Amino acid sequence: MVMEIPFDVANIAGPEIGGTAPPEVIGSYITSAKRPLLVVGSELLRGDFFLDIAIEIGKKGIPIAATGHSMKGFVEKEYTENVTYYNLHELTNCLRDPNWKGLDGGGNYDFVIFYGILYYYASQMLSCIKNFATEPLMRAVSIDQYYHPNARMSFTNISPRMEEEYKDMLRKLVGSIKR
């Protein structure tokens, strides 16, 4: 079996590391969530396509926490219906607490999807979730172009040369989320 290398090559946390999966598998994994949350970061702003993907997921009824300065993009796209600005550090601080009421007051989430977030920042927040959001278990996946060992599931590292392939993967992922 060939192991994927973390995007930041030395980012090997320990014995429990997540696997890589194709978009359809991650999509159906997301479908299995009862209360999923899409957490997006500032790297989303590098192109309309990536922002549109987030909006498509949002339109499937998955609320969006816009971290970093990604909120700017949603406002410009005039899609703010289920989008809330949150600092990622503060958000993760809430996610680790089973008693948190969530962005809508309906309670904490059982599933988080990280997308468009600076690699090393995302990795540390995924580490917090992996280590401390365990009772009840919160599942975390990443759909960035990086392998994230602290997520339960993520894509492989995808070279910038493969950007079109990555876009295809995102399209497939969105298509496979059934809600």
Partner 1 sequence: MEEIKKGGIFAIPELQNVRINIGEIIEEEEEWEPMGPHPMPRIATLRDWDFKLLNRYKPFYAPLCDMCCLCTYGKCDLTGNKKGACGIRMDAQQGRIVLLACLIGCSAHCAHGRHLLHDMINKFGRDVPIDFGPKVNIEAPLTRLVCGIKPKTIGDYDKVFSYIEEQIVQLADALHTGQEGSYMDFESKTLHMGMLDSLSKEAADILQIACYGMPTSFAGDGPDVPLVDVGIGTIDTNKPVIIVIGHNVPPAADIGVYLTENRLDDKVELGGICCTSIDTTRVYNKAKVVSALGRQLRVLRAGIADVVVIDEQCIRADVLELCQHTHSPMIATNDKAMHGLVDRTDDDPDKIVDDLVSGRVLGVVILEPDQVGEVAVRTALQVDKKRKGLSYILSDAEFTRYVNDCIQCGSCTLACPNGLRIGKANKSAAAGNVKPLADLFDICVGCGRCEQVCKKHIPIVDVVTKAAYPQLKAEKGKMRVGRGPVWDSEIRDVGAPLVLGTIPGIIAPIGCGNYPNGTKDAWLIVKEFAERNYIVTLTGCMAIDCALWKDEEGKTLYEAHHGGFDAGGVLNIGSCVSNAHIHDAAIKVASIFAGRPLRGNYEEIADYILSRVGACGVAWGAMSQKAASIATGFNRLGVPAVVGPHGVKYRRAFMGRPDIKEDWTLIDATDGSKVYVEPGPQDLLVACETVEEAMPMMAKLCIRPSDTDRGRSIKLTHYIDLSLKYLNTYPPDWHLFVRTASDLPIATRNELLKKLEDEQSWKIDWKTKKIVEGPIRAYNPSFNPTNLERLIRRKK
What does the binding site for partner 1 look like in residue numbers (CB under 8 A)? 5-9, 13-16, 41-42, 67-69, 71-72, 75-76, 80, 84-90, 92-94, 96-97, 100-101, 117-121, 124-125, 127-128, 130-132, 134, 157, 159-161
Q: Shortest gap between Cβ of 53 and partner 1 (angstroms)? A: 19
Between CA 158 and CA 160 the distance in angstroms is 7
Instruction: For residue 89, give the amino acid letter.
Output: H
Cis omega (within 30 of 0) for bond into 136 = yes
Q: Shortest gap between Cβ of 101 and partner 1 (angstroms)? A: 6
> Which segments within 6-79 are labelled E, that is strand?
19-20, 36-40, 64-66
Nearer to partner 1, 14 or 22 (CB): 14
Q: Shortest gap between Cβ of 125 and partner 1 (angstroms)? A: 6
Between CA 108 and CA 132 the distance in angstroms is 14
Evaluate whether 155 touches 147 at the Cβ level (below 8 Å): yes
Nearer to partner 1, 39 or 170 (CB): 39
Nearer to partner 1, 67 or 154 (CB): 67
Beta-carbon contacts of residue 131 (< 8 Å; ≥ 6 apart): none
Nearer to partner 1, 26 or 67 (CB): 67
Q: Shortest gap between Cβ of 77 and partner 1 (angstroms)? A: 11
